[in-house]
Amino acid sequence: MKMYLISDNIDTFTGMRLAGVEGCVVHEQQELQQALERSMKDRSIGVILLTEKFGRDFPELVNSVKRETQQPLIIEIPDRHGTGRRPDFITAYVNEAIGLKL
């Protein structure tokens, strides 16, 4: 199985291409939806990487695809501008998941 990147910027796309990951660059919601549909039909793709900007700009689309799809695995990754998450997001996630304050 291979990974496939759907990015909102050329820098992330170029970096991942250098690492051997194929992908595409899209900017609009319709383009994102078409790229997701194409990549989900390809059975050789096991992981779809999305830059976090898509999760912020089009949360309803990204979340619905994540909920409805078991395979391929869809993962949001930070781009060259860094993560859009707050600095303690991992600690907060663990606190919420297990109910203990770390």
Least-confidence region, from 53-57, 80-84, 93-97: 80-84
89 or 30: which carries more pLDDT confidence?
30
Place of tokens 């600690």: 91
Least-confidence region, from 41-45, 54-58, 93-97: 93-97
CATH superfamily of 2-98: ATPase, V1 complex, subunit F (3.40.50.10580)
Q: What is the pTM of this model?
A: 0.77
* Domain regions of the chain by residue span: 2-98
